[in-house]
Structure 1
Amino acid sequence: MSRKATYPKVICTQHPDSASKYIATQEEPEEAIEAALVFGCDEYMPDYEGKATPYHQNVQIISKLIEETDLVPGKDIFITPRAPSAVQENRFRQLMVMMSIAEANHGALEYSDIQAINEFVHPMTGTVKEILDAQQHMVDVSELAKKEFGISMEVPRIIPLIEDTPALLHAKELAENTLLAWKERFGTAPEKFRVFLGKSDSALSFGHVASTLSCKYAINGISELDSELDTKTGIIFGAGTLPFRGHLSLKNAENFFREYRGVGTITLQSALRYSHGKGDAEALVRLAKEKLPETPEVFSSEEKEEIVNLIGIFGARYSRIIHELSFTINQLAGLLPQQRDRLMHMGSSGYSRSAPDISGLINLCRSDIGKELNSSMPAEDLHLPRAIKFTGALYSIGLPPEFIGTGTALEEARTKLGEDACERLLTRYFPSLASDLNFASGYLDLNVASRFLSGACLKEVSRDIEVLQDIFSLKVQPEPSYRILLEMMQPDLLQAGNAGDCMDEEVSQLVCSTLTKMGKIRKSLG
């Protein structure tokens, strides 16, 4: 049986969700200093996944910390890069990032006997093989660095990032099987092992409710491993400030920490640092350091079965509508500003994300629910934008994605699973849904959104909102300034979203500026 490990509480990330600040890669080493000294974070994540981050950024950050602060990297502040996936992105870039980890550690060990980088994040993780192969690459790079440059270090451990709903539902099995296979492959299981759970991408694919439930299911499962294995586990939870991406804000902190009990580390993304009120991020960091980790919630086997069926119902309802909106979402997302230096979306040096394999989820669902979910999935990948721009695009047409499919799914859940199951959903499985919807209702304008929707889609969404207003007594009152911006931009947004025509550059800049102002009002690009 493992003892609880001590892990960093707040990891500062390079997510491009700030509506008020663009940060170039050249500024990011200084941002790492700011993360520690200003915001009080105890971990920073240089991000190479889908980003044009320079190979030497790890070295720059470590050197800057050593030369300009009294902080000791690896002790006072942890540097934990996110490397590219060799499967989903590019193996050469993954190996280059790993070599930069070795170089950064070599530089740090010249100043102290403490290794600066001890872990790295592996994105879009789906299999044990991916995890072990990436860890093997890190072992190989470490041996090469020792042979060629005399760099001796303890091999950094992988942190698998699990980002889609089917994988989240199998997170416990993935972690457990990884640790067992690790022992076989490397001779001994790691003493410590963290798993990173992502809210945003699971929400993009399956909707807000299904995403939240799958994350909580994963937290519950991984927490169970602490009493079953000798390895000391930890959970990082990746969340943005808007409800669809996690609703991690100072104002919603009480709900957040109650909802995701069992998490040991949270992300502090750009929007919270640069688009929220002065002092909010620092206050949230202090609160996280006081509270994390809290005792995880425990679900019975019957409750887990019910949660999976709820995920199937909500995921299916959401998926059908998103198919209809995909073209508009992509067009509008292209008009939102780039707040970090990212790689192109496709190509040999870029990246793309495919629709998740839902077979594992379907097998867990009741047969009728699984069949319905399967029929709701697109025949081909939709190639939707990343979650931040996806969320921003929908908020920008007056249709926050938190509402999509949610009302009709509640009706269906009541019919298929019973009134008691719906009651448990709202009081036990997802008690902060009401506050999430209340927040999102401040940006809901169905009159504006209707201009982007087909007749059938509008009928579904209207029913969603009608049901939710009845259950939660929502007051749909968009902020006046936000509504003015929505109304003002309709002709140009319609041109971009529905006609697919090329825009005049000045008009495009005006649209981008207005969309950015909307993001500033909601305090997040997406």
Structure 2
Amino acid sequence: MSTQHPDNAAAPPYAVDGVIKGDGEIIEAVDAFSLGCDEQMWDSEGKDTDTHVVQKLLGNYSGYFREERRLGRDTVITLRVPNPAIEIEMRKLMVEALQGVPTAFDVAHEFYGDDVEPPIQEIILPFTTSADELSRIAAYYENFIVGQESRALLGDVSVRDWIGEFLPKRIRVIPLVEERDQMLNVDGIVREYLQEREEPYQRVFLARSDPALNYGMVGAEILLKSALYRVDRLAQETGIPMYPIIGAGSVPFRGHLKPVNTARAFREYPSVHTLTVQSAFKFDYPRDQVTSGIAEIRAHEQEPAHPIDEERAIAILDKAAAEYQKQVRSLAPTIAAVSALSPRRRERKLHVGLFGYGRSLSGSDDVTLPRAIAFTTALYSIGVPPELLGLAALDQEDFAYLREIYPSFVEDLATALQYANETRVNQLLGDKYRRLLVRFTEEIDRIHEGLTTSVWASIEQGATSRVSQYIAEAGELRHFLG
């Protein structure tokens, strides 16, 4: 699944001053399909969204979608809509998005004739906290979008007589689960939802970035593995196939999925069915590596999830998360200052949701953070990789158990910490973190270290005109911005 997460350091040629916007996202979708992706997330949460995406794809790239990869059969658009229960100021955008589903079908029908499949078949609901939220989306579409076709207008003329039939008759709703309590009850949410609907299968989207933002890398991995195991057991219990989606970025803090290390994802998450291919994956590596990485993802066959001793794992999560949040609280002003100077890669609107686009640290309403990508960019840009935060609370037994349930733990840390600045780590976090840095680091990238020193010195001196350039150059060395 190609997504629009703006974690890329390098910009594609259709970006404007480094920013992907407007019809650039149409080009991006076609490019993602040509790279081998079979699904494009179309995000109306927190940004202006082109509701005519299907019309533009089929109109501007008719040869490709007629002769190479048919929209609706070989490729699909999957909408991510605001959650009306959480994102109050954006809830009407959910209605607008659902209203566009039959229009997209009509456009595809006009293009392909009767041999047509819906170009939009599923809706992603972020911040899912209950089965009712999922049921409301499905019911609204079926009862009010499609259901209006049978209503009379004037006399005996129905809406269907006037503007035609509404297809498809149903859509599937994918819960995107992001918060601790919901990830540890994802099986309960999905079980209750499926009691009300007959579905041949169910996709479940499990976040990786926002759990890391709230609980640190260790906490995010534990929550993800617990959720995957719960979903796997639910499939066995119900007999309904479950297809987990994992929202992973390139940086270890956000999931460590790159074109050159797809095997890591299958080692850690064997039950995964779909992985997100975010912007850094697509734009920060040579094209042949990207197509090869996507082919490896598509070739993966689901296996049973790894079992996990949830009680023991959650005890480690609690220790690491408390220490992580303590350190983030102290770093918050610095993170905000650096984030404000970071280059932007996609047009976004600021809004406040469950945590907001400026997000409150879990358990700390007085601490507001940027979104996960900007947060990660800021910390890498001063030489303090966020993967390090929280580890000082763990003992040797904790580390030993982590290596059992998280085989890539040491590798992920080594990858991240090569971009650390030892001076900044010692200055901002203290000697215990400096010693952890030495313990888990194989080699420091000295060029990157120099750029982080320049970022820090420029901000301290108030000479910030070149900070964005330094941050971008450091991101290009890493092959991700945040």
For the criterion TM > 0.5, the same-fold answer is yes
Secondary structure, in 3 states, of the residue corresponding to 2:243? strand
Provide the C-alpha distance between the structure 1 equivalents of 2:9 and 2:192, rounded to a whole number of angstroms.
40
- The reply to whether residue 170 of structure 1 matches residue 208 of structure 2 is no
Q: 206-215 vs 120-129, which deviates more?
A: 120-129
Counterpart among 335, 338, 341 of residue 344 in structure 2: 338
Match runs of 1:321-400 below 5 Å: 321-346=327-352, 353-356=359-362, 377-378=363-364, 380-400=365-385
Map Cα deviations across residues 78-122 of structure 1 (whole Å, 9 max, x no partner): 211111221232111111111122211221123233121110111
Please report the RMSD computed on the Cα atoms of aligned residues, expressed in angstroms.
Answer: 2.2
Partner of 1:97: 97
The match for 2:57 among 50, 56, 61 is 61
**Larger CA deviation: 111-120 vs 131-140:** 131-140
What's the counterpart of residue 175 of structure 2?
160
Q: Deviations over 1:158-192 (max 9, x none)?
A: 11111123321211111112212xx2xxxx42222
TM-score for the superposition, normalised by structure 2: 0.89
Whole-angstrom distance in 1 between the partners of 2:366 and 2:55: 38
d(CA) in 2 for partners of 1:223 and 1:258? Answer: 16
Give the counterpart letter for 2:445 in structure 1.
E
1:432 maps to a residue whose letter is S
Contact 1:398 1:445 in 2 (8 A): yes
Percent sequence identity over aligned pairs: 30
Report how far residue 353 of structure 1 moved: 4.2
Distance 1:508 1:494, change over 3 A: closer
Matched, 1:17 2:15: no
CA shift, 1:325, in A, is: 1.0
**d(CA) in 2 for partners of 1:93 and 1:381?**
29
> Per-residue CA shift, 1:371-394, capped at 9, x if unaligned?
xxxxxx32x242211110100000
Equivalent position SS for 2:79:
coil
Aligned partner of residue 107 in structure 2, secondary structure:
helix
The verdict on how the C-alpha distance between 1:264 and 1:381 changes in structure 2, with shifts beyond 3 A counting, is farther
Structure 2 CA distance for aligned equivalents of residues 40 and 492 of structure 1: 42
Q: Cα–Cα, structure 1 residues 423 and 92, in superposed 2: closer, same or farther, change >3 Å?
A: same
Write the mapping of 1:47-58 to structure 2, written as runs, cut at 5 A: 47-58=43-54
> Which letter maps to 1:306?
R
**Secondary structure at 1:25 match in 2:** coil
Q: Which residue number in structure 2 is paired with residue 513 of structure 1?
A: 469
Q: Which residues of 2 match residues 374-523 of structure 1 at below 5 A?
A: 377-378=363-364, 380-406=365-391, 408-411=392-395, 414=396, 419=397, 422-426=399-403, 428-449=404-425, 453=428, 458-459=429-430, 462-467=431-436, 469-470=438-439, 472=440, 474-475=441-442, 477-494=443-460, 508-523=464-479
What residue in structure 1 maps to residue 148 of structure 2? 144
Looking at structure 2, the residues matched to 437 and 222 of structure 1 have their Cα atoms a distance apart, in angstroms, of: 28
Instruction: Give the alignment of 1:285-296 within 5 angstroms.
Output: 285-296=294-305
Superposition deviation, residue 258 in structure 1 = 0.2
Q: 1:351 to 1:318 in 2, by over 3 A?
A: closer
- 5+ residue gaps, structure 2, are 12-18, 151-158
Question: What amino acid is aligned across from residue 200 of structure 2 in structure 1?
Answer: E
Aligned with 2:230: secondary structure?
A: helix
Q: Give the direction of change, closer, same or farther, for the CA distance of 1:327–1:134 in structure 2 (3 Å limit).
A: farther
Q: Is the 8 A contact 1:219 1:262 kept in 2?
A: yes
Residue 197 in structure 1 maps to residue 193 in structure 2: no
Q: How far did residue 43 of structure 1 move?
A: 0.9
String of CA shifts for 1:169-219, please: whole Å, max 9, x gaps. 211111112212xx2xxxx42222111011000000000001011101101
Name stretches of at least 5 consecutive residues in structure 1 with no aligned partner. 1-10, 357-376, 497-506
- In the alignment, the residues of structure 2 paired with residue 445 and residue 48 of structure 1 have an alpha-carbon distance, to the nearest angstrom, of 37
Cα–Cα, structure 1 residues 313 and 386, in superposed 2: closer, same or farther, change >3 Å?
same
The number of residue pairs the alignment matches comes to: 454
- 1:352 to partner: Cα distance: 5.1
Query: 1:46 Cα shift?
Result: 1.1
- The alpha-carbon deviation at position 488 of structure 1 amounts to 2.3
2:324 is matched with which residue?
Answer: 318
- Cα deviations by residue, 1:47-75 (Å, 9 ceiling, x for unpaired): 11111122323443354455543222121
What's the CA shift string for 1:485-518, capped at 9, x where partnerless? 122232322356xxxxxxxxxx544211111111
Q: Deviations over 1:280-314 (max 9, x none)?
A: 21111111122232332233xxx121112111111
